[in-house]
Structure formats: structure tokens, C-alpha cells
Structure 1
Amino acid sequence: MEGPLDPADPMRLRVSDTDRHAVAEVLREAAGEGRLDVDELEERLEATYAAKVYADLVPLLADLPGASPLPQAAPVVRRAGTPAYPGPIDHLPRHTSSLAIMGGQDRKGVWVVPPVHTAFTLMGGIDVDLREAVFSSPEVVINANVVMGGIDIIVNARTRVQVEGIGIMGAFEEGRAKVDPEIGPDSPLVRVRGMALMGAVTVVRKPMPGQGRKRLGRAPS
């Protein structure tokens, strides 16, 4: 019989369906890259959906490069600008995707970001504002793909960012910050992946809404 869970050890905490789905997606991607054969994939998927605590998921990902959807700390629901969101989140909007075709779409305010959010625009524009968002996992992946348009991903001072996309006759980059970063051990990580074809995907660090722009590297005069 399994002993009592130690709340100080995040690996002994119970996993959620969102965690299981995130791991399953990593395994499917690994199989698509030829890292796992069909039998291995089926075996690991079965173990994934049977997992009860985070420690059960670790061996399923240990030999896959770059696969780390598991938390390094307790998997609490986090808000990008504060250590933890203070209230219930059931009533908050949850968006898994953003789409704009010859138009525009904005995601902003307080909303729940799933472990993976997909944004696509064709001859349009999308703003994915994460400054007040509630992160459902410590690491979030934004799949941003642009064809002759633009996607702006806005983060606050406390959010870590890793830009991993490519630009083809376009730009896929982290733009000039408008506020100094304030990264800490509890800062969520946003990975931005995808492609910009004759368009742009830009990650911009800005102050929280309602705060004025801070001068970078200079004391207020």
C-alpha cells in the first residue's frame, strides 16, 4: 500500500487530466519523430493515463530530449504577475486557440492559459496578452503560425520566455522590452514555437495593465 503523500515533495502530488494529456502529446510527438516505435508508444500512453502522481510520469519522459512538462515545484495554478492566483478559476474563460483570417482577435485580461495554446493568422492579426493570465501549468507552449500577418505575444516582467520559432521572409523574435525583467524561481515559462511566413511573431515584455512604462536600466528622474 502506498504511504501518505508528502506535500513538500511535488513528485508525490496527484496529477490532473491536463498533465496526462500534456505528457501524452509529448509521447506522440516523439513517436512522430521516430524516437518511439508503435509498441513503445502504446505502452507509455497506457502508463500515462494510469499515472496517479508526478513520479509515475517521470520515467516515461526521462529518455526523451527536451521533454519536461512536469513541474519543478508544486503544480499550483499560477498567475503570470503574482505567485499564485488567489481565487477559484472555474468561472474564468479558457482559450486553447486563437484564429484570425483577414481580421483580428485579442486574448487579454484574466483568462486561463492551458499547457498548449495554438494561434494562427492568415492576413490578419492576433494579440495574445499573458500579463494577467492564469497559467494552468508552470510551463506553457504557444504555437504561433503566421502567413502574411502578425501575432504579438505580450508578457509581463515576471514571465520567462523562450523563442523557438523561425521566420521565412518574415520575423520570429523577442522584441524590445518595455519593462525590466523580474524573473524569480516561481516565474512561469512561456515557450513560443512556430513559423512566420511573410509576417511576424513578436514577443514583447510590457508593464502590467494600468502601470506606466518603466524606464529600462534607469532610476526615475
Structure 2
Amino acid sequence: PRIRARPTYPHLPSDTKTERSTVSDAGGAIGCSKYYEAYTQQGITGGLMAVWCTHSICLGFHVIPKGEGRNDVFSALFTHWKRAPKYVIYDFACALAPYCMVREPEFFGDTVFLIDEFHGGGHTRCSPACFISNYRDFNSDLKTINSSAAECGNAGLHRIRKSLSYLTQDHAIEFGYAFLAIWNRTRERQAEEKAERAIERSKKRHAEDYATSGVAKKSKSSDS
């Protein structure tokens, strides 16, 4: 549920403008040439933007009217999270971090914005501090994290992309909600089954080790 409203920032004149219009041929104030190529040259249109956990479970989604921008991610996090996530992994985290910090520095003060490994290529103008690959050897939290979980989930959404294009907005939202509910439940069941198999394997190994230990003790007793 929504916790708070998205504020307006009167001292930021470009806050309410369409994101793509603020990027110049040289990267503009955003400073990321890959961001410019994706959102200005290709002219990406609207659709669904989903937020995923590291297990590819969808935490929520909303409709994008004109094309994904930094405000979509910022608004989703600020209006629906009581506290900002510790890590935000996003293909354009290099542009998202300053956008969030300029608007809500207290809320995002402890958040680390990182570009996932899959989308790292092409960010030639971005700081090394933006890449998750530079943290893995020194941060145990990030060493085993699946940085491509969102990419996996978005690949699932591509299955219904054509179907959504034939629906009205209301029907598209309902269809997307139903699809993601089934997707989440399927992922949860797969995780439960995987955990059960791991427990069974652990029990089996424990029983085998116990049996082997018992045979060894019996053999030693017989020798004496």
C-alpha cells in the first residue's frame, strides 16, 4: 500500500518534465551516454515497470504512460517503502542515485545504488562506484546476490507484451496483476521445493555419515 504521497519540488524546475527532454546529445545533466541512447535515440514508449526482489518475486508494478524514467523508480520507492532499501540495483543506477539524493537525501541517505552486471557494459562515462561488480569481493551481502533477478522477471513480462498491447489500460492492469500473481506463486513454490530437496539431501548425508561412523567404530572394537 502507498505510505506517502510523492512531493513536488518547486526549486527543481525540471522535476515535472518528461525525462527524455532533459538529455542532450552529450548526455546532458544526467551524464550517462547509455541512458541517452536508450531513452532518447530509441524513443522507448510506455508499459509496465515492476520492482523485484533478489529472488525474482515481483513486489509491485505500475503503468508508465510515456516511457520509463528516474521518477518512476524514485516515486515507487519513496511512496511505498517505510525505509529506503539498503541496496537498489537498477540498470541506470548511475542516473538514479543523484536524482533521489537531490530530492530526498534523508530518506535515501543509507541506500547504495548499483548497476547490475548484465547492464554494466556501455556505461563508459559512469563512475566505478556505480558497478556492483566492484563490490562483490569486499561486501559479503553482495557476493551471492542475484543482480540479474529483475532482468529475469522482466523477461517473464515480455511473454505478455503483445497481449497487453491489444487491451485497454484498465484491462491491461488487471491482466498484468493476474500474470504476476501467478508468477510470484510459481516462484515461491519452486523455492519451497528447492528448500525441501536441500533438507532431504542434508538428512541423507547425515544418515550416511552416521552409518559410516558406526561401521568404523564397530570395526575398531572388533580389532581390539
Instruction: Verify same fold: TM over 0.5.
Output: no
Which structure has more helix as a fraction of its residues?
A: 2
Structure of higher CA gyration radius: 2
TM-score by length of 2: 0.27
TM-score by length of 1: 0.27
Which structure has more strand as a fraction of its residues?
A: 1
